[in-house]
Each structure stands twice: as structure tokens, then as C-alpha cells.
Amino acid sequence: MADQKAPRATSNRSTTPGSDAFKEYISSQWAERPDTVTEPREQSPYAAQRRAALSALHPGKRLVIPASQAKVRSNDTDYPYRAHSAFSHLTGWASDTVPGSVLVLEPADSGHEATLYLRASAGRDSDEFYANPEIGEFWIGPRPSLADVAVDLGVATRDLADFDEVVTTSDAETMLVRDADPDLTRRLDALLPTEPADESVDTVADRAASLDVLTRDLGELRLVKDAYEVAQMRAAVAATKDGFRDIIADFDEVLAHPRGERIVEGTFNRRARADGNTVGYDTIAASGDHACILHWTRNDGHVSPGDLILIDAGIELDSLYTADITRTLPVSGRFSEIQRLVYDAVLEAADAAFAIVRPGIRFREIHATAMAVIAEKTAEWGFLPVSAAESIKPENQFHRRYMVHGTSHHLGIDVHDCAAARRDLYLDGVLEEGMVFTIEPGLYFQPDDLSVPAEFRGIGVRIEDDILVTADGAENLSVSIPRTASDVEAWIAGRR
């Protein structure tokens, strides 16, 4: 293998020895590394079933699913690496994915043949292993061998250096997950025909429309979770519960620090790194008025006695499956009368939505059910210019002033899983056993909202749980994380 220099190597400050004597010495006296993987990982057979399902959707077409490259954070430093979700779903390779890998499903007489292309380990005759800070094992650790990966994932492997040659040797139409690896997408666009021979408007338009079909199909394949995925969701919720427990245990430190929201975030992130891969999304630690900002992730505010703190957080496991839980906690341990009134209304909306979940209903019915409660409560309190029944009408929707977001989204290897699925399979889709999604109603009264009495202003409450559709109903996977106002108060008292 030829010597490989890091594309972002900083030669102006490099002190790597370059003498022939050093190269000869560092290339010698290394023990052999035997292949160590003896059996496939647990998710390997599930990944094979997913590949077969995708193959059946696109007979005769080459399917290219990249893992993605590392993304630059600043100069020559990268963000922590995470493989593209579609790649991980189809291979079973997750937090230990080698960046830049590519899965190819090549059309065959019967279905497709899967090959995983990855950067092979560098030989000791190369300077890569000590001189390349991006991929050298002295810098980032050794890469697995092609043989080990083949056994581990149950899929054929080849050196990434062979990829370009292989994909240009047949005339099969190529479908690519284009957003996964922009550099690879540009390279394939140059190597492969970018337009069909017939350049009519309709044909070109059809091809442009087809670019998103593979991404759409990959999202829709994840709408129903298999047994492995359901087990991972349970484990992610269990780890997340421990993260919330840690936060409550640290409440004294949270209150003492001028940026207590950051202490909440840090405490949860510590648990995420200890028991999983990382957080599934940026933690929301929103105290006081910040709870009315739906995606408050700056988390730089003080946490004061008497505040409610809205914590929206989830732990992503090494498999990349993540929980997504929200609890709204009284920092002092007890809800005020108005806080409890709002909290109980949100809980009623959540429980009403959960009660209707079963196979056969439409996904959008969950949101409609929660919104009916939100309309009833805000009308009862005198906040709406019309009755709840009038507000629910599509031409009105006055109650949505206090909850502008949706009630549910699918959940899995992405926190907003299956996002590219068609509307008729997502929002208008029919629930099936094995689907996993959130139920997360809320009420948010902005601190300057003159449509509500002063005592309501600045209160934000959300309760979010992760729901599994069962054969005859539903299971709340996160029900063991206290939800009722009384249970939350007891939880805080017990932990402190």
C-alpha cells in the first residue's frame, strides 16, 4: 500500500520523523494480529432481513448506502463520528463503524448480493499507521480487518480502494442515498451517467424525482420495529431513566450554579456516555421561562427555587437506538397550585392519547385526541375566544397558541425516525404492531402572553413517553419514570 498522508495534515508543525532509518525501525518487530471475531453480532440476522426487504423493492438496480465521512467541526478537528442511520440499519454496524464505509447491494440473478466496502488496515510497510492523524492507528486505534468485519456483520467485505472500479463495471442503474456522503455523491455523479439517454423533460424530471425514492423506502422500512429494535428501545429508555435519576440527585448543585441548566445537561450527558454511545439529540434543560421555548438547547440559565424545569433528553445506545423522554419537574420538590393545574391538564391529554393507541387506528388520531383535551382545558380556563368545540374546527385552532407542535413522532435509530416516509404511511398511516413513537403533549404560556392571567405566564409543561404498539393495544415503555404530579414529588423527595 502506498504511503498515505492525511488530507488535513499540518506540515508546518509536524515533528514526525522522516528518515529511512526510522521508517525501517518502526515497520519492524510487530506481532501478528490474528482475526478475532468468531460469530456474527446479535443484530446481524435482522440486518440481513432488512436488506432482503429493500432488495425486493428495487430489483435489477444497484443500491449504494454510504456510512458517511467524519464531519469537520473546526479546522482539523471533527465532530464525534456517527454513521448514517440507513447504513447502520442495513448492516448492524453502529457506534464502531469505520468512517467512509459503503454498503453496495449489487443486482444478481436472485435479488441482490451485499458487499461492504471499508478502508482496510494499513500494512506496516506504510507510514499510515503512525503518520496519518485522521486514520492512523497510533492516533485513532486499529481498524478491524476485512475478515473480522465479514464475520461480525455476516456480509461480504472488500477494500474501499476497489469501490470506484466495481461500481463502474456494469450498466446497472445506480440508486444512492445522496445525503449520506456528499463527496461520494459528487464522485459517483462524475463516474456514472447523470442523465438518461432520452433527455425529454418528463424523463429527466422522473429521474430527479427518483433520487429521493431510496431514502424514502429506507425510512419506511423502519416504521415497524423488529424484535431486536424493540429490545434496544427498552434498553435506551432504561438508561434514560437512570439519567433523570442522576439529575434529581444533583439538584443541590444545579441550584447552586449560576448556569444550573448546564449542570443538568452535563449530568445527563455523563450517564449517556457511561451507559450508551452519547445523547440521542441535544438535551433540553429549560428552567422557568425557558420551558416555553420548545427547542431550548443553549441551557445557560439559572435554576431557581420555585421553577419548573422541563427536561427533554434521551440516551443513544451503542446500537444508535435512542429514547426520547420529557419530564417537567418542580425544582423545589412541590408543584404550586397553578403549576399542578397545568401539569395535570397535560397529563390528561397524554393519557387520553395513549388510551386510543391500538393497531388499526390512524396515526393522526393520536394528535387529535390530545388536542381535544388541550382545547377543553384552555377553554375551561377562559383563555379562548370561543368554545372548545369551536376552537377544534380547522378554521379556528385558537388552542394551538399554547401548543404549536405535534403530539407524536416515530422513534428508533433516529430520534425523529422514518422522517422521509410518505404522508399516507406516516401521519395518515395505520398503526401496526411493532411501531414505536412518542406521545408528548404540552402547554406553554409565554412570559409576555397577555391572553392568559399573570399567574400562568412563564409556565411550560411537557410530558413525553415512548410508546410501543402491541397486538391488541399499546405499552408505555417509559411508564416507570414517574409521571403523575404526586409521583414526581415523591420521586424528587426520595432522591434528595
Gap between the Cα atoms of 477 and 411, Å rounded: 12
Cα 296 to Cα 28, 112, 271, 343, 449: the distances in Å are 54, 45, 21, 19, 18
Q: Which amino acid is at 205?
A: A
Reduce the DSSP state of residue 166 to 3 states and report it: helix
- The separation between CA 252 and the C-alpha centre of its own chain, rounded to angstroms, equals 31
Gap between the Cα atoms of 320 and 83, Å rounded: 9
Gap between the Cα atoms of 329 and 335, Å rounded: 8
With vertex at residue 188, the alpha carbon angle to CA 47 and CA 61, rounded to the nearest 5 degrees, is 50
Bridge partners (DSSP) listed for residue 466? 438
Closest CA relative to residue 321, chosen from 409, 414, 242, 215: 414
Same fold, 40-220 and 227-495: no
Digit-coded pLDDT (tens) for 258-300:
999 999 999 999 999 999 999 999 999 999 999 999 999 999 9
The pLDDT assigned to 208 comes to 43
Task: Quote the DSSP letter at residue 127.
Answer: S
Q: Which amino acid is at 458?
A: G
Digit-coded pLDDT (tens) for 381-436:
999 999 999 999 999 999 999 999 999 999 999 999 999 999 999 999 999 999 99
Burial of residue 86, with CB atoms counted within 10 A of its CB: 0-12 exposed, 13-18 middle, 19 or more buried: buried
Gap between the Cα atoms of 345 and 432, Å rounded: 28
Gap between the Cα atoms of 263 and 195, Å rounded: 53
Gap between the Cα atoms of 39 and 339, Å rounded: 54
The pLDDT assigned to 8 comes to 59
Give the cell for residue 117.
Answer: 466496502
Q: Which residue has the cell 404511511?
A: 425
**Strand 62-66, strand 102-107: pairing:** antiparallel
Q: Within 10 Å of residue 281's Cβ, how many Cβ atoms?
A: 17
- Identify the segments of the chain with pLDDT beneath 70: 1-11, 193-211, 496
Cα 198 to Cα 61, 204, 205, 207, 210: the distances in Å are 19, 8, 11, 11, 16
Q: What are phi and psi of 263, to 5 degrees?
A: -65, -40
**pTM for the whole thing?**
0.93
Domain boundaries, the chain: 40-220, 227-495
| Range list of β-strands (E), 4-74 | 62-66, 72-74
Q: At what angle do helices 337-355 and 485-495 cross, to 10 degrees?
A: 110
Q: Which residues contact 152 (CB under 8 A, 6 or more apart)?
A: 37, 40, 41, 44, 144
Q: Which residues contact 15 (CB under 8 A, 6 or more apart)?
A: none
The pLDDT assigned to 171 comes to 79
The pLDDT assigned to 285 comes to 98
Q: Which residues of 151-173 are buried (b: 16+ CB within 10 A; e: fewer)?
A: bbbbbebbebeebeeebeeeeeb
Taking a C-beta distance cutoff of 8 angstroms, is the pair 116, 153 a contact? yes
Q: Which fold has domain 227-495?
A: Creatine Amidinohydrolase (3.90.230)
Gap between the Cα atoms of 285 and 283, Å rounded: 6
> Torsion-angle region of residue 120: left (phi > 0), alpha (psi -120 to 50) or beta?
beta
Give the cell for residue 259.
Answer: 448556569
Give the cell for residue 247.
Answer: 439529575
Taking a C-beta distance cutoff of 8 angstroms, is the pair 477, 237 a contact? yes
Q: Is the dihedral of CA 5, 9, 13, 15 positive or negative?
A: negative
With vertex at residue 121, the alpha carbon angle to CA 13 and CA 71, rounded to the nearest 5 degrees, is 55
Taking a C-beta distance cutoff of 8 angstroms, is the pair 299, 323 a contact? no
* Domain 40-220 belongs in CATH node 3.40.350.10: yes
Task: Quote the DSSP letter at residue 368.
Answer: H
The pLDDT assigned to 211 comes to 55
Reduce the DSSP state of residue 48 to 3 states and report it: helix
